[in-house]
Amino acid sequence: MSHPADLVPSGRAPDSAATGAAPQGPPRSLIVLLAVSCGLTVANLYYAQPLLSELRHDFGISPVTAGGLVTATQIGYAVGLLLLVPLGDVLEKRRLTTVLLSVTVAALVLGGLAPDFPVLLAASLVMGPTLVVTQILVPFAADLAPDASRGRVVGQVMSGLLTGILLSRTFGSLLAGATSWRVVFLTSAALMTVLTLVLRARLPRRAPSAPAGSLSYRELLRSTVRLMKVHPALRRRTFYQSAMFAAFSVFWTTISYVLTSPPFDYAQWQVGLFALAGAGGALVAPFAGRWADRGLVRPATAVAFAATALAFALAGFGRHNVIALGAAAVVLDMGTQTTLILGQQVVYQLDGRARARLNSAFMATFFVGGAIGSQAGSYAYHAGGWTAATVLGAALPVVALLGWTTELRRATSG
């Protein structure tokens, strides 16, 4: 059974009654659609990463300026997590999703046709917040699922989102290599147009859990912050995931330095292909959802922490062996995805009427952890090489595991 701190009662009716979810849950075709939607949408956050050298050449800009494109998109996404995702509790989700994706399409077209870098940067700033559609669709899937299978459904949808993250760099790199960076943006615009139309036709209409007008926008944002104060389990799971996402960012920010240096000397497209190794980690997502449904949140969380620390040890000792690095990437991604899905299962059970706001607080907090991990990883690598980066990466899940032991001691003493 899950620890009581992870299942704080909210005084609500059972989810199936509160949301109208059918006991058997959403149809398989809808789950697949939500998973594909999340993958295609979140990929737009990462397409630009392997394209920076080409952008530098085309626009005649410095590496720091080119890197600002990724930063702009990430900042926009963080803003969207804080300011747009809570709207999922007060606005009809199908309509909200359609509006945000329409803006995504317009921004992608503008970016693909941008005559200069400032226009491309502006397009990325506009697009970033709209990509939080993924964090509206995941709670939507949780709303549709009955209690007994919520973890499985969320895990299946998250597998699509995580696959999109892991494959986007490879797709963007290969497509740009065969054509140009502009084709990457315009191809994504076409895909997102089709996706918008399909979601508009297929998503069921559902009344928001807190109808528009019941909360002002300011009250909505305040209530999101208040959820962090009210629910200890939310604070605990955001701490866990912040540490894990920081470790994830340490690895994927610095591994390109290793692969483009001796003895590998990989080209950019080869680095993109290496990212395919991490995609294997997405296979764990449905299993993690089932573990959550079976009440195995605590033990599975601890195993994920330990496995992630061991993955960094393998990566450190196997620096000159691409198979060892690939295996470490798979285990790292499995560990990160496992704790993410277990955390979502815990968080979504706290209050069925505020899932979008709970998700906003959860995702925005650990997203900051990932940004810190990315910067810290770069600093560690340049200060002490791959050894320093892997030591930092291993320390983060160990810290989370130490936090987990306090949860275990409280459960034992209680």
Contact 3, 405 (CB under 8 A): no
Assigned domain for 16 exists: no
- Sign for the CA dihedral angle at 130, 135, 141, 142 comes to negative
Q: Are residues 49 and 184 in the same domain?
A: yes
- Whether residue 127 is found in the same domain as residue 40: yes
Instruction: Residue 375: give the domain boundaries.
Output: 216-414
Number of domains in the chain: 2
Domain boundary among 171, 193, 214: 214
Residue that finishes a domain, picked among 199, 214, 229: 214
**371 and 265 assigned to the same domain:** yes
Task: Give how far Cα 44 sits from Cα of 161, 167, 168, Å.
Answer: 11, 11, 7
In a domain, 12, yes or no: no
Residues 189 and 317 in one domain: no
* DSSP assignment letter at 51: G
pLDDT at 8: 37
**303 domain-assigned:** yes
pLDDT at 404: 96
Q: Has residue 4 been placed in a domain?
A: no
Contact residues for 214 (Cβ-Cβ < 8 A; gap 6+): 90
- How confident is the model over 99-134, as pLDDT tens digits? 999 999 999 999 999 999 999 999 999 999 999 999
Among 214, 232, 257, give the residue marking a domain's end.
214
Does some domain include residue 41?
Answer: yes
Going from the C-alpha of 277 to that of each of 45, 286, 320, 323, 374, the distances in angstroms are 19, 18, 16, 10, 20
Q: What is the pLDDT of residue 31?
A: 93
* Residues, the chain: 414
- Do 198 and 223 have their domain in common? no
**Would 6 be classed as within a structural domain?**
no
Q: Following DSSP, what letter does each residue of 288-318 receive, concatenated?
A: HHHHHHTT-HHHHHHHHHHHHHHHHHHHHHT
Q: Are residues 284 and 397 in the same domain?
A: yes
Q: Are residues 94 and 39 in the same domain?
A: yes
**371 and 312 fall within a common domain:** yes
DSSP state of 401: H
Look at residue 117 and tell me if it is in a domain.
yes
165 and 38 within one domain: yes
Which residues lie closer than 8 Å to 72 by C-beta, 6 or more apart?
121, 124, 125, 128
CATH number of the domain where residue 107 is located: 1.20.1250.20
Helices (H) and strands (E) in the chain, counts: 16, 0
Contact 389, 263 (CB under 8 A): no
pTM: 0.76
In a domain, 13, yes or no: no
Please indicate, yes or no, whether residues 164 and 256 belong to a single structural domain of this protein: no
Segments of the chain with pLDDT less than 50:
1-22, 413-414
For residues 125 and 236, state if they share a domain.
no
* Closest CA relative to residue 361, chosen from 348, 372, 352: 348
92 and 187 share one domain = yes
Residue 163, pLDDT score = 81
pLDDT tens sequence across 154-213:
888 888 887 887 788 788 888 887 899 999 999 999 999 999 999 999 999 877 766 556
